[in-house]
Structure 1
Amino acid sequence: MAPANPNLSESDRAALVGQLMNARRAVRDALASGDSAALREARAAVDAAKVALGERGPVWWDGDADLNRRMAKNTPYAEWYASLDNQT
């Protein structure tokens, strides 16, 4: 999981985490009820909360690109990764 944007105030972060938890419960409930429209809406709410928290969407930090969810061999860390002894 990506970290939340540290530039958010504690009150904003707490409110967004609350929204995320509510949206996740809505996903659970929609799955249980089989309501596909509610499920789409709930998943959109999860995504919106994660974007607002900085866990998805444009990067909030300065510097290098987001290499999360990339295979190491396809990143600038490829040489380092290839040198590790514990590859399977």
Structure 2
Amino acid sequence: MSDGSSEEARWFVVDGRRWRRSDPTLPSEVEERLLHHLGRGRSGVRTAKRAGDEEALAAARHRVRVAKVGLGERGDPWWEQDPDVRERRWTDALAGLDGLDGLDGRE
């Protein structure tokens, strides 16, 4: 597992665009849940765009944003955060995402 000390551990490039990698310290179960929410959000964005539903689009984009912050792909760089802040980041993100559905983390 990478500690994020190299540029290669922090970023990847697709079609000339640099993207931040997910936090490598995420526990696998947490990463799985965040990716599930991210997929639901992305699907919701596509559906809302097709339907022209601006309210649903905003809600779906919010889900995507919160999932990406939880993964460490948005917000403060994960490699600049201490372990407690990193854990609080993903814990808060999951609580918020699960709360969107009124869930306690199980689907």
The reply to whether TM is greater than 0.5 is yes
Residue number in structure 1 paired with 2:91: none
Q: Report the structure, 1 or 2, having the larger helix content.
A: 2
CA distance in 1, matches of 2:20, 2:78: 11
CA distance in 2, matches of 1:15, 1:47: 14
The share of aligned pairs that are identical, in percent, is 40
Tell me the distance in 2 between the aligned counterparts of 1:13 and 1:45: 15
Secondary structure of the structure 2 residue equivalent to 1:61 = helix
Q: Residue in 1 aligned with 2:26?
A: 8
Please tell me the residue identity of whatever aligns with 2:49: L
User: How do 1:1-88 and structure 2 match up within 5 A?
Assistant: 1-62=19-80
TM-score under structure 2 normalisation?
A: 0.56
Higher radius of gyration, 1 or 2: 1
Give 5+ residue unaligned stretches, structure 1.
64-88
Question: CA RMSD of the aligned region, Å?
Answer: 1.3
Q: Distance in 2 between matches of 1:62 and 1:19?
A: 25
Measure the CA separation in 2 of the matches of 1:62 and 1:36.
Answer: 35
What is the CA deviation profile of residues 30-63 of structure 1, one whole-angstrom value per residue up to 9, with x for unaligned ones? 0010000000111111000000000000111149
Higher RCO structure, 1 or 2 (CA under 8 Å, sep 6+) = 1
- Residues 65-84 of structure 1 deviation map (CA, whole Å, 9 limit, x = unaligned): xxxxxxxxxxxxxxxxxxxx
Q: Which runs of 5+ in 2 are unaligned?
A: 1-18, 82-107
